[in-house]
Chain A
Amino acid sequence: DAKTTQPTSMDCAEGRAANLPCNHSTISGNEYVYWYRQIHSQGPQYIIHGLKNNETNEMASLIITEDRKSSTLILPHATLRDTAVYYCIVRAAPLDSGGGADGLTFGKGTHLIIQP
């Protein structure tokens, strides 16, 4: 899996949009960008993923640059419950990696702190 680079920590005011950047300059053509988050002492939670188009769901939006070398996760209206470590992961889709499931390779992520 390609490596990703994220800031160690970020602060954001409650109610504001939180923009979390991720660099993945060595991403391959068949690799997706995934975002997970881990609230303290809980298991990671899937947020969103994308290949090259921008994606939006009920939790967040994912903006991927045209060259796919970086992306930004956007939490449009951050709440205190969004305080967590956010992980950006790049990996091939299971069907593209020879079939079968693969584990995820987690980095250190970004510790997002939402300030009241």
Chain B
Amino acid sequence: ETGVTQTPRHLVMGMTNKKSLKCEQHLGHNAMYWYKQSAKKPLELMFVYNFKEQTENNSVPSRFSPECPNSSHLFLHLHTLQPEDSALYLCASSSLNQETQYFGPGTRLLVL
């Protein structure tokens, strides 16, 4: 248990569906991250939020839309995804003054 939770843990969706991934951290951190891990590829950073403000968008397609309503919650809204978007989506958090990132267990997404 890292103090970072993600729901759902598994998700199957069609290409026309709209779904949202949720991340919550109970560590008092003020930075949160989304990463994507496709099969047999390294983890890729998608988005970074500092104090609820997005500070990095790593050239992510607009069909992925992040939302950070407060420093404890982070969402990833999904719409009109493609089968190649099937992956493990990982959320992480950190303090701005700490070097360590704490990861959640991930959401395993399958797009049909």
Taking beta carbons and an 8 Å cutoff, which residues of A are in contact with B?
A: 32, 34, 41-46, 49, 91, 93-95, 99-109
* A102–B48 touching, CB < 8 Å: yes
* Chain A residues whose C-beta falls within 8 Å of the C-beta of B20 in the assembled complex: none
Taking beta carbons and an 8 Å cutoff, which residues of B are in contact with A?
A: 2, 4, 31, 33, 35, 42-45, 48, 50, 55-56, 58, 88, 90, 92, 94, 96-106, 108
* Those 9 A-B pairs whose CB atoms lie nearest each other, nearest first: A43-B103, A101-B31, A103-B45, A106-B43, A106-B42, A100-B50, A46-B100, A44-B103, A43-B90
* A44–B99 touching, CB < 8 Å: no
Between-chain CB contacts (< 8 Å), 25 pairs:
A41-B106, A41-B108, A43-B4, A43-B92, A43-B104, A43-B106, A44-B43, A44-B90, A44-B92, A44-B101, A49-B100, A91-B99, A94-B98, A94-B99, A101-B31, A101-B48, A101-B50, A101-B55, A101-B94, A101-B96, A103-B35, A103-B45, A103-B48, A106-B43, A107-B42
* Chain B residues whose C-beta falls within 8 Å of the C-beta of A109 in the assembled complex: 42
What's the count of A-B pairs with C-beta under 8 Å? 64
Bound form: Cα–Cα A91–B42 in Å:
17
Known: A43-B90, A43-B105, A44-B103. A103 touches B58 (CB 8 A): yes
Q: Whose C-beta in chain B lies nearest to the C-beta of A49? A: B99
* B104–A103 touching, CB < 8 Å: no
* B2–A45 touching, CB < 8 Å: yes
Q: Whose C-beta in chain B lies nearest to the C-beta of A101? A: B31
Bound form: Cα–Cα A107–B45 in Å:
12
